């Protein structure tokens, strides 16, 4: 059994904001108890999977380790009961790809998969470059000082995914706010109402989802009447086994694209610039040989930030994992940041190296649920850096960066920087 102090750290939003306590906890676990059970007060027990190879082992066995049988994110007993009482027994507030298993998962994934494949995403490159250029110009106009997270990194991937989805620009600030409420529900600065307790927090989360649903219901009606060349039209008019998508499934599909589709990429972009500001030698190295370094730098940024902190799986049968007996129904936490600091896989894992190779980071997951948007995310980041780095001459932090308080999706919320740009 994992010591209580460590068990609490790995579910504590504040510990993820500080980062070091979480890094220390997982470093200890990888060394002493790489696969063991945690039971923080108020939670059901769960296995904590900390090693790179064990994470892959669980993720590739999608029949043995289901997503949908229990909550896909770590949830207290009280919150879990509340969700189940509101959702007719289901442990989920939404039913997106993340909460599905086969056969539904395959059917629903194939609906939008073609849109996100490299050969299709490539066609968007000229338009995404225009968007990136406009953000880089905006940064230059700031006159040498900005909050890179708020002024650039939050807004650029947001604009890209909203164009892809089909949400007009005027609604982007609302989409950003709702996303931050959803992922930042434990962070007083991000959440809807700075909830005093878990019940209020859950109510706030439900209100956020209700706002999304109201918005996307209108969008469905519009795209049914006037289909366009956007992902919203695919969701609104798509069929699964000859039937239109269910209401919950359609709403959840819009919501996952409208949230996961930018926040993770924003976090990675902001975290990468933060790392470059702290490591001028790495920035110089990257600028010296941009074309060769770029793909390595992108992978290293993703490894470095690992914005998705965990997903949960549930065993569908008794199983053996790394010599331990896992029982049917057991809940498992896959810790992506831990996998991405695994000393057996990465040399000097706590160093940020723009030319790190090999780099088998697991920040996009693995197996049937591996990130649908990974090709888009990589391309967006590459284009932004290609536009920004040649114009960026000096860079340093102009204050203490801060991360969001969240144990699920977490990254920088403020990265104040000083710079000189052409």
d(CA 255, CA 266): 17
Shortest Cβ distance from residue 296 to ligand HEM (Å)? 15
Shortest Cβ distance from residue 67 to other proteins (Å)? 15
- Closer of 146 and 164 to other proteins (Cβ): 164
113 binds, among other proteins, ligand HEM, none (CB under 5 to 8 A by kind): other proteins
166 binds, among ligand HEM, other proteins, none (CB under 5 to 8 A by kind): none
What is 150-210 written as a DSSP string? Answer: IIIITTHHHHHHHHHHT--GGGHHHHHHHHHHHHTTT-TTTSSS--SSHHHHHHHHHHHHH
376 binds, among other proteins, ligand HEM, none (CB under 5 to 8 A by kind): ligand HEM
Dihedral (CA of 352, 150, 406, 364) sign: negative
Shortest Cβ distance from residue 418 to ligand HEM (Å)? 26
60 binds, among ligand HEM, other proteins, none (CB under 5 to 8 A by kind): other proteins
d(CA 293, CA 360): 16
Neighbours of 404 (CB within 10 A): 24
Shortest Cβ distance from residue 293 to other proteins (Å)? 17
- Closer of 238 and 367 to other proteins (Cβ): 367
Pairing of strands 392-397, 35-38: unpaired
- Closer of 74 and 372 to ligand HEM (Cβ): 372
- Closer of 154 and 336 to ligand HEM (Cβ): 336
Q: How many CA atoms lie within 13 A of 402 on its CB side?
A: 11
d(CA 237, CA 4): 49
151: tokens are 């002024």
Residues within the interface to other proteins (CB under 8 A): 56, 59-60, 113, 116-119, 358, 360, 364, 366-368, 370, 374-375
375 binds, among ligand HEM, other proteins, none (CB under 5 to 8 A by kind): other proteins
382 binds, among ligand HEM, other proteins, none (CB under 5 to 8 A by kind): none
Residues within the interface to ligand HEM (CB under 6 A): 59, 97-98, 109, 161, 256-257, 260-261, 264-265, 268, 302, 307-308, 311, 336, 363-367, 369-373, 376-377
d(CA 339, CA 334): 8
Shortest Cβ distance from residue 278 to other proteins (Å)? 29
3-state helix, strand, coil in the chain (%, to 5): 55, 15, 35
265 binds, among ligand HEM, other proteins, none (CB under 5 to 8 A by kind): ligand HEM
311 binds, among ligand HEM, other proteins, none (CB under 5 to 8 A by kind): ligand HEM
Shortest Cβ distance from residue 220 to ligand HEM (Å)? 18
DSSP H or E run through 20: helix 20-32
| Residue closest to 408 by CA, chosen among 154, 155, 71, 105 | 71
- Closer of 57 and 181 to other proteins (Cβ): 57
Q: Please enumerate in sequence order all residues whose Cβ is within 8 A of that of 360, keeping only pairs 6 or more positions apart, or say none.
A: 52, 345
Q: How many CA atoms lie within 13 A of 133 on its CB side?
A: 6
Shortest Cβ distance from residue 121 to other proteins (Å)? 9
312 binds, among ligand HEM, other proteins, none (CB under 5 to 8 A by kind): none
Distance linking the first and last C-alpha atoms of the chain:
56
- Closer of 214 and 370 to ligand HEM (Cβ): 370
Shortest Cβ distance from residue 133 to ligand HEM (Å)? 20
| Residue closest to 409 by CA, chosen among 366, 379, 367, 365 | 365
- Closer of 3 and 106 to ligand HEM (Cβ): 106
- Closer of 159 and 369 to ligand HEM (Cβ): 369
- Closer of 6 and 256 to other proteins (Cβ): 256
d(CA 283, CA 84): 49
């Amino acid at each position: 059994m994992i010591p209580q102090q460590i068990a609490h750290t790995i579910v504590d939003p504040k510990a993820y904001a500080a980062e070091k306590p979480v890094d220390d906890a997982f470093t200890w676990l990888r060394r002493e108890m790489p696969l063991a059970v945690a039971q923080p007060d108020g939670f059901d027990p769960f296995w904590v999977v900390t090693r790179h190879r064990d994470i892959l082992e669980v993720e590739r066995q999608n029949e043995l380790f289901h997503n949908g049988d229990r909550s896909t994110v770590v949830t207290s007993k009280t919150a879990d009961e509340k969700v189940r009482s509101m959702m007719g027994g289901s442990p989920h507030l939404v039913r997106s790809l993340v909460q599905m298993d086969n056969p539904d998962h395959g059917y629903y994934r194939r609906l939008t998969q073609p849109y996100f494949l490299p050969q299709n995403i490539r066609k968007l490159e000229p338009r995404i470059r225009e968007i990136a250029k406009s953000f880089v110009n905006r940064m230059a106009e700031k006159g040498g000082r900005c909050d890179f997270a708020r002024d650039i990194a939050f807004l650029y991937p947001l604009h890209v995914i909203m164009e892809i989805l089909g949400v007009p620009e005027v609604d982007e600030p609302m989409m950003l706010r709702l996303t931050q409420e959803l992922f930042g529900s434990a962070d007083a600065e991000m959440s809807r109402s700075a909830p005093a307790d878990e019940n209020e927090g859950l109510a706030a989360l439900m209100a956020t989802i209700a706002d999304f649903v109201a918005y996307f219901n209108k969008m469905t009606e519009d795209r049914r009447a006037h289909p366009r060349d956007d992902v919203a039209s695919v969701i609104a008019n798509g069929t699964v086994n000859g039937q239109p998508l269910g209401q919950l499934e359609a709403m959840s599909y819009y919501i996952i694209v409208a949230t996961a589709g930018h926040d993770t990429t924003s976090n990675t972009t902001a975290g990468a610039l933060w790392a470059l500001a702290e490591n001028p030698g790495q920035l110089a190295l990257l600028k010296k040989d941009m074309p060769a370094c770029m793909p390595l730098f992108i992978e290293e940024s993703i490894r470095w930030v690992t914005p998705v902190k965990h997903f949960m799986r549930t065993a569908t049968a008794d199983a053996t994992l790394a010599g331990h007996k896992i029982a049917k129904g057991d809940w498992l936490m896959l810790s992506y940041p831990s996998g991405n600091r695994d000393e057996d896989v990465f040399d000097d894992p706590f160093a940020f190296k723009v030319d790190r190779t090999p780099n088998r980071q697991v920040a996009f997951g693995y197996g049937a649920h591996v990130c649908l948007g990974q090709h888009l995310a990589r391309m967006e980041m590459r284009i932004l850096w290609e536009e920004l780095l040649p114009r960026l001459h000096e860079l340093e932090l102009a204050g203490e960066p801060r991360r969001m308080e969240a144990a699920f999706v977490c990254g920088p919320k403020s990265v104040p920087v000083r710079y000189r740009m052409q």
